[in-house]
Structure 1
Amino acid sequence: MRFSALLVSVAFAFAAPALAQAPKPVDPAALAQAKVFLEKSGSAAVGQQMAGALLNAQKATLEQANPGKTAEINEVIGLMQAEFAKQLPPMIDAIAAVYAQHFTAAELTQVTAFYDSPVGRKMVKEMPQILSESMTVAQTFGQKIAMEVMIKLQPELEKRKLKMNKT
């Protein structure tokens, strides 16, 4: 369940290479059911949430580099948002094809049934907040772990005369 939401967010990051690959043939019934699954699971909404987060980060970067040009930046962000919106349906179609390669139409019907249940609907409702909170937790842990690993392995880097880029 959370996997489908994460899949959409990862797909945004790697959409170009994934869409460039030749699609494998899939069962049309499985493909149709995969699209139903993605809709009911809220994956498209999570994809839009991720696009929004990317656009907000881009806007902040542009504002920092271009003080006093808020109107122009907002225009460009609007154009970017429109482009993201155009790319979402083909991306969802490509992701549906991946699901259709791994699951039969009957299996996808069973998975989709979960999202028709009360707890499934709650999962869809809560997923954006859960994903946001989980990403914050993962980022915090990732930074902490990376720092600890680098400190621990510093003697090994020095022993091998390796340097780390300072950013």
Structure 2
Amino acid sequence: MRLLILLCTLAFAAPALAQAPKPIDPAALAQAKVFLEKSGSAAVSQQMVSGILAAQKASLERANPGKTAEINEVIGLMQAEFAKEIPAMIDAMAAVYAGHFTKDELAEVTAFYDSPVGRKMVKEMPQIVAETLTVAQTFGQKIAVEVLSKLKPEFEKRKLKTSKP
């Protein structure tokens, strides 16, 4: 009977134990936030938000021709809502770094961003991200077309359409 109780207890406790996050060192978390600030991650996050909003604006303009003023108002509201969430996203990102690196390791990485080349990297990173996204999109589209073309017989064999008629 004790064995049955023990097995039942382990059966119910095991998933909870497996899912329990490992504790984060508060000092590492604080250093991770310094790292994210010095590395320009907040600026890159803002750049992502700007890209999302630009895409949303274009979509709204296609769906609502002639309503530019109203769309701009809504985009402004969306931007304000995104801005409220960025600090929580930075905190979550810091927790990820703190889960992988110690306070001292993060301090070493952060020191790089205090160097001349580190400061240059932060300055150049938004443009580098924009350029690499363009490269990735171009290659992604090219590869997708080639893969779909190459695998067309497989789609046909399985009676699958690759797009709406």
- TM-score per shorter chain, which class? 0.7 to 0.9
Q: Name the counterpart of 1:70.
A: 68
Structure 2 counterpart of 1:163, one-letter code: K
CA apart distance, 1:164: 2.3
Instruction: Supply the distance in 1 between the matched residues of 2:31 and 2:135 (Cα, whole angstroms).
Output: 33
1:85 is the counterpart of 2:52: no
Rg larger for: 2
Instruction: Supply the distance in 2 between the matched residues of 1:137 and 1:23 (Cα, whole angstroms).
Output: 37
Structure 1 counterpart of 2:105, one-letter code: E
Structure 2 counterpart of 1:59, one-letter code: K
After the TM superposition, which segments of 4 or more aligned residues of structure 1 sit over 6 Å from their partners?
A: none
- Indicate which of 93, 102, 107 corresponds to 2:100: 102
Q: Name the counterpart of 1:113.
A: 111
Q: Name the counterpart of 1:162.
A: 160
- Indicate which of 145, 148, 157 corresponds to 1:147: 145
- Which structure 2 residue ranges, 5 or more long, are not aligned? 1-18
Instruction: Supply the distance in 1 between the matched residues of 2:157 and 2:53 (Cα, whole angstroms).
Output: 43
Partner deviation per Cα, 1:118-150 (whole Å, 9 max, x = no partner): 000000000000000000000000111111111
Partner deviation per Cα, 1:56-92 (whole Å, 9 max, x = no partner): 1111111222222222111111110000100000000
Cα-Cα RMSD: 1.7
Q: Name the counterpart of 1:133.
A: 131
CA apart distance, 1:155: 1.8
- Which structure 1 residue ranges, 5 or more long, are not aligned? 1-20
Number of residue pairs the alignment of both structures matches: 147
Partner deviation per Cα, 1:84-108 (whole Å, 9 max, x = no partner): 1000000000010000000000000
Question: Identity of counterpart residues, as a percentage?
Answer: 80
User: TM-score by structure 1 length?
Assistant: 0.82
Instruction: Supply the distance in 2 between the matched residues of 1:22 and 1:72 (Cα, whole angstroms).
Output: 46
- Indicate which of 48, 55, 61 corresponds to 2:53: 55
